[in-house]
């Protein structure tokens, strides 16, 4: 293992991918027919992940919408309390733990490509341990939510009610530690259909229990919180039952003490992933907060909320491509096929961009009409119309940026991208938005334009990094990573 000849043989085998990388490149460059077949095959693999991921994300988003709808029937204060608790308290922790779980997309994805199947179950158990420890450390944010909300300038009555309901969200918070790793574990072996099926069942259960606890038994906000808790834990239980009862015979060999080894390395990768995605998750939430501090902000906030809702719905598609790209790149790198990872990146980027262009045309064409779904107020409709161009370009950028982030996750670049996000989002985008919004008196138009500028710079940097990437070298790095992590005992 340690002699020069053995290392050279390993290097040659890896670069050739057992002949796969060379063959892959010949297929791509061999003619239109072969190229079409290669694109079709890669697209098929991609959509096996993306289609169920879109469904699962839309269902998850729908559960939050249903929750807010039931809260709205209780009263304006109750609706505001649930919205604030979901956005500020649960939303922050959701983004952080979802990001930390994405470390599994790197490790499990590359392990699956390298055919080191037994390690995938071990990695998932390590993720459970790390995320559960993180969840426990974050509990004070729920316990002292009222004080946190008061510090952000929320009214005392609203803060008190949101604080009370936040405590009831603690079981939901703990479910993240188990559900997110399960979803990524299945996703990396292209078994997203199990997650989609569990999400669909959970949505039906969520609607039924919401009606039962809120409308029939009048449990109020507590009933709403209990419903969310039950729905998320039910999803986690269904996925674990699928995994443990024979759904993943090659990748799940039961609980193992091996999961407690190498935790510090896992913590570092998980933390980098969490920071990377959390910075992205909070970027446009800050846009709402900044807009709320403008003079006569009511109309601006209404218009911006409509645009952000449209953006959030459409964003479910790019986020699914984020997942799909991360898995495909990780699988190919794990298999030692650097050029296959490059080709997967190209196919995913082009597909997502085409979908983004479709929605860009749709928003530009219906710039003065799409807000009628939410309001009939002429003033708000005019305000949305003024923001429609920015919404269109945000959607267009979002069709590429998540794909590039997916490449980063699949390749294990989370730490580097976290620094890129800090620089572009928080040192360029937000200051530029404040400058245009207040100094140049452009209001919400200026704030949003500045923040789009930050996203554009970030996307450009990630695109340059991806284009200049030495994919054969990345395949070697993935192989070294798999050997290192497999040997941790």
Sorted by where each begins, the domain ranges of the chain are: 38-487
Nearest to residue 210, comparing CAs of 232, 222, 227, 234?
227
Between the alpha carbon of residue 431 and those of residues 301, 387, 437, the distances in Å are 20, 20, 10
Report d(CA 100, CA 87) in Å as an integer: 19
Region 183-189 average pLDDT:
92
Q: What are phi and psi of 55, to 5 degrees?
A: -60, -45
Low-confidence winner among 32-41, 261-270, 479-488 (lowest mean pLDDT): 479-488
pLDDT digits (tens, 9 = 90+) for 425-444: 999 999 999 899 888 888 88
Nearest to residue 418, comparing CAs of 271, 298, 209?
271
Report d(CA 138, CA 176) in Å as an integer: 12
b/e 207-246 (16+ beta carbons within 10 angstroms → b):
bebbeebbeeeeebbebbbbbbbbbbbbbbbbbbebbeee
Low-confidence winner among 240-244, 275-279, 300-304 (lowest mean pLDDT): 300-304
Residue 57: both structure tokens together: 């994300």
Q: Please check whether residue 122 is in contact with residue 111, taking contact to mean a CB–CB distance below 8 angstroms.
A: no
In this predicted structure, the answer to whether residue 59 has a pLDDT above a threshold of 90 is no
Low-confidence winner among 164-178, 246-260, 289-303, 304-318 (lowest mean pLDDT): 289-303
In the chain, what percentage of residues exceed pLDDT 90? 47
Report d(CA 102, CA 402) in Å as an integer: 13
Which of helix, strand or coil describes residue 188?
coil
What single DSSP character describes residue 89? I
DSSP 307-372: HHHHHHHHHHHHHHHHHHHHHHHHHHHHTT-HHHHHHHHHHHHHHHHHHHHHHHHHHHHTTTTGGG
In this structure, the number of other CB atoms found within 10 A of the CB of residue 289 comes to 13
> What's the whole-model pTM score?
0.82
pLDDT band at 151 (very low <50, low <70, confident <90, very high): confident
């Amino acid at each position: 293992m340690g002699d020069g000849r053995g290392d050279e043989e390993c290097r040659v085998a890896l670069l050739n991918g057992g002949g796969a990388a060379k063959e892959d490149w010949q297929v791509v460059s061999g003619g239109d027919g072969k190229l079409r077949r290669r694109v079709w095959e890669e697209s098929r693999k991609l959509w096996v992940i993306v289609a169920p991921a879109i469904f699962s994300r839309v269902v998850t988003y729908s559960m939050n919408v249903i929750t807010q709808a039931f809260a709205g029937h209780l009263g304006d204060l109750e609706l505001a309390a649930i919205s604030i608790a979901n956005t500020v308290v649960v939303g922050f922790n959701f983004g952080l733990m979802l990001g930390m779980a994405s470390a599994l997309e790197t490790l499990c994805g590359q392990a699956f490509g390298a055919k080191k199947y037994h390690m995938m179950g071990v990695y998932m158990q390590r993720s459970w341990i790390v995320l559960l420890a993180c969840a426990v450390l974050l509990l004070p944010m729920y316990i002292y939510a009222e004080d946190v909300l008061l510090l952000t300038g929320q009214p005392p009555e609203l803060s008190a009610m949101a604080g009370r309901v936040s405590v009831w969200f603690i079981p939901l918070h703990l479910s993240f530690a188990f559900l997110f790793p399960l979803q990524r574990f299945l996703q990396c072996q292209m078994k997203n259909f199990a997650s989609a099926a569990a999400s669909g069942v959970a949505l039906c259960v969520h609607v039924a229990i919401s009606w039962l606890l809120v409308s029939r038994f009048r449990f109020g906000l507590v009933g709403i919180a209990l419903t969310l808790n039950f729905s998320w834990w039910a999803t986690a239980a269904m996925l674990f039952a699928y995994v443990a009862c024979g759904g993943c015979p090659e990748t799940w060999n039961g609980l193992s003490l091996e999961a407690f080894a190498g935790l510090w390395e896992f913590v570092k990768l998980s933390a980098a992933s969490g920071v990377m995605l959390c910075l992205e998750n909070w970027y446009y939430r800050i846009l709402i907060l900044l807009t709320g501090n403008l003079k006569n902000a009511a109309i601006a906030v209404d218009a911006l909320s409509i645009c952000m809702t449209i953006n959030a719905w459409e964003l479910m598609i790019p986020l699914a491509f984020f997942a799909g790209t991360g898995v495909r790149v990780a699988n190919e790198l794990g298999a030692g096929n650097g050029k296959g990872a490059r080709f997967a990146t190209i196919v995913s980027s082009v597909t997502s961009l085409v979908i983004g262009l479709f929605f860009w045309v749709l928003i530009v064409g219906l710039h003065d009409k799409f807000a009628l779904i939410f309001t009939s107020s002429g003033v708000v409709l005019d305000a949305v119309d003024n923001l429609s161009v920015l919404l269109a370009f945000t959607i267009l950028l979002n069709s590429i940026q998540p794909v590039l982030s997916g490449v980063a996750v699949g390749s294990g670049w989370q730490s580097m991208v976290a620094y890129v996000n800090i620089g572009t989002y928080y040192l360029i985008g937000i200051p530029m938005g404040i400058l245009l919004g207040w100094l140049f008196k452009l209001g919400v138009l200026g704030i949003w334009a500045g923040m789009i500028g930050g996203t554009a710079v970030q996307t450009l940097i990630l695109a340059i990094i991806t284009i200049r990437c030495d994919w054969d070298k990345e395949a070697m790095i993935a192989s070294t990573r798999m050997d290192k992590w497999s040997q941790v005992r």
